[in-house]
Amino acid sequence: MDLPSFFRLDGRTAFISAARGHLGTAMTRALAKAGAHVIVNGRDDAKLAAFEDQLRGEGFSVERAAFDIADMAAVRAFFGNLKRLDILVNNAVSMQVKSFAALEPADFAATYESAVTAAFECVRAALPALREAAASGEASIVNIASMYGQVAPDGRLYATREGQSPFHYGPAKAALLQLTRHLAAELGPQKIRVNALVPGAFPARIDPELGERLAGRTMLGRLGTPAEIAGPLLFLASPASGYMTGAALNIDGGWTAW
């Protein structure tokens, strides 16, 4: 196999949750450009339909699946009707941004449910479809974590404590990283690989002064752009990473390597 074909996804079906998000849009486009048929998920059917139409207008093979990824019955119903799935990207997380003092146990539970329990249930519900793909090659699961699942936010970079990464976000992403390892051990014998992408600072909108401080914290001296998550995602989703499972691939400009 020549090198470029390692990253091609022709003839494969991919599912991505939170497909319209800041990084979700870039990842969806990357999968589609590599030749995959992409099932885009989100809660708002009207917005998802517009996104689907836009991508189809650009020549990509896309279909939408509008449901709440934290609705376990909806997850089971959708994946129960799917015959084959080559790539599953667990990208969704839902949370209310609150200060440390204002957080309630229910806030932690809701964030954990959307980031970790939902990812687990997607994998379990999709397992027959993933096994179908693995029977003729392999299947790949990519969980989207965060550097704040590995390190704590540096409060000195922020003007206020309320401005930093929410207190219940990092712990949920840390749990997702551990879930990745457990799933890799469980599913490896079935030729289903499970890895995690660990993005650093990829802000959609940010105060310029805060942006400078965050950029200064990286080894590369700048923030990430959504397009820069495309290559790492394709690497983990494609045969290029065929001997890789249970791993966490950091895309953080060196932030966590100091």
Per-residue pLDDT tens digits for 136-166:
999 999 999 999 999 999 989 987 766 778 8
Query: What pLDDT was estimated at residue 2?
Result: 58
Q: Is the pLDDT of residue 3 over 70?
A: no
Query: What pLDDT was estimated at residue 162?
Result: 66
Q: Is the pLDDT of residue 249 over 90?
A: yes
Contact between 27 and 228 under an 8 Å Cβ cutoff? The reply is no
**Sheet of 192-199, strands arranged across:** 62-66, 37-42, 13-16, 87-90, 139-144, 192-199, 248-251
CA atoms of 42 and 62, how far apart (whole Å): 13
From 112, 158, 169, 243, the catalytic residue? 169
| Other CB atoms within 10 A of residue 231 CB | 12
Query: What pLDDT was estimated at residue 220?
Result: 98
Q: Which of 103-107, 197-201, 236-240, 241-245 has the lowest mean pLDDT?
A: 103-107
- For residue 150, what are its two tokens? 């590995």
| Nearest alpha carbon to residue 22 among 123, 93, 118 | 93
Q: Is the pLDDT of residue 184 over 70?
A: yes
Q: List the domains of the chain with CATH numbers.
A: 3-257 (3.40.50.720)
Q: Is 84 exposed, middle or buried (0-12, 13-18, 19+ CB in 10 A)?
A: middle
CA atoms of 211 and 213, how far apart (whole Å): 5
| Other CB atoms within 10 A of residue 243 CB | 7
- Sign of the Cα pseudo-torsion (48, 52, 55, 61, in order): positive
Query: What pLDDT was estimated at residue 101?
Result: 84
What is the residue type of 187? L
Q: Which residues pair with 142 in a beta bridge?
A: 89, 195
Predicted structure pTM score: 0.96
CA atoms of 52 and 38, how far apart (whole Å): 10
Q: Is the pLDDT of residue 175 over 60?
A: yes
Contact between 200 and 226 under an 8 Å Cβ cutoff? The reply is no
pLDDT digits (tens, 9 = 90+) for 29-71: 999 999 999 999 999 999 999 999 999 999 999 999 999 999 9
| Nearest alpha carbon to residue 112 among 124, 100, 95 | 95
Query: What pLDDT was estimated at residue 167?
Result: 85
SS (H, E, C) the chain: CCHHHHHCCCCCEEEECCCCCHHHHHHHHHHHHCCCEEEEEECCHHHHHHHHHHHHHCCCCEEEEECCCCCHHHHHHHHHCCCCCCEEEECCCCCCCCCCCCCCHHHHHHHHHHHHHHHHHHHHHHHHHHHHHHCCCCEEEEEECCHHHCCCCCHHHCCCHHHCCCCCHHHHHHHHHHHHHHHHHHHHHHCEEEEEEEECCCCCCCCHHHHHHHHHCCCCCCCCCHHHHHHHHHHHHCHHHCCCCCCEEEECCCHHHC
Q: Is 169 a catalytic residue?
A: yes
- Average pLDDT of the chain, as a whole number: 95
Q: Is the pLDDT of residue 200 over 60?
A: yes
Q: Which residues pair with 44 in a beta bridge?
A: none
